[in-house]
Structure 1
Amino acid sequence: MLKSPVTGQLKQGFYGFSWTYLYFGFWVPLIRGELVVAVLHLVLSVVTFGLWQIVVSFLYNKQYTNRLLEKGFRLTDTPERNQRAAAALGVDLSVHAARAA
């Protein structure tokens, strides 16, 4: 779970392979509120005849969650889950905690 310290909005972060993206493609970023990303992914999927969708299935969840972190969201789950997520995302929790304080 991630929380925006400014708005208090909670969002679920993801990492690892995205079966949802593999099956639904550009609809995933569209439903998650990323209109520009959805349009870009639609165009790239059409241009590459669907190959883009297969490749991005391995990358999308991590990129989405990192974009949330860049927007100021903070990891707010249990310490164990935060540790696993930080390791999978390549995020330094000490820096993350310092920015949250």
Structure 2
Amino acid sequence: MRVNLENPNTHQLKQVKVGFSWTTFFFGFWPALFRGDWKWFAIQLAIEIVLGCFTMGIGAGIVGIIFSFFYNKLYINDLLEAGYVPNDKASKDILLSKGITVASH
């Protein structure tokens, strides 16, 4: 399920997936890097390095699996805090149904 978010100042549109992140599941911190989400890229990378060092790499894979369940929600919340708003009623309804607070515009 995807939602459309728009920055009202720049009119930039982003289509963001809601729910489980298959890309994070398979590729760990890389999706955050490609999205330009520097904060969560650095956090995931640091955790994967630390846990990977002590578990011969197994911990890094586990971090990717755990982040898969909530990374998309973290990314959407960061976009909303940066000023993005749902572009249509369907997107707003999806976000509300997933427990994501949406400011009215």
- The verdict on a shared fold, with TM-score over 0.5 as the criterion, is yes
Q: 1:32 aligns with which of 28, 32, 35?
A: 35
The alignment yields a C-alpha RMSD, in angstroms, of: 1.5
Q: 2:21 aligns with which of 18, 28, 34?
A: 18
Q: What is residue 88 of structure 1 aligned with on the other side?
A: 98
Greater share of strand: 2
TM-superposed CA distance for 1:35, in Å, is 2.1
Residues 28-70 of structure 1 show CA distances to partners (whole Å, capped at 9, x for unaligned) of 1100011232122111112222221111100100110011001
Provide the rounded CA distance (Å) in 2 between the counterparts of 1:10 and 1:81: 12
Q: What is residue 7 of structure 1 aligned with on the other side?
A: 10
For 1:21, the aligned partner's letter is: T
For structure 2, the 5+ residue unaligned runs are 52-58
**Contact 1:3–1:74 at 8 Å: present in 2 too?**
yes
Tell me the percent identity: 36
For structure 1, the 5+ residue unaligned runs are none
Provide the rounded CA distance (Å) in 2 between the counterparts of 1:29 and 1:89: 22
Residues 74-98 of structure 1 show CA distances to partners (whole Å, capped at 9, x for unaligned) of 0013x23320222214325xxx22x
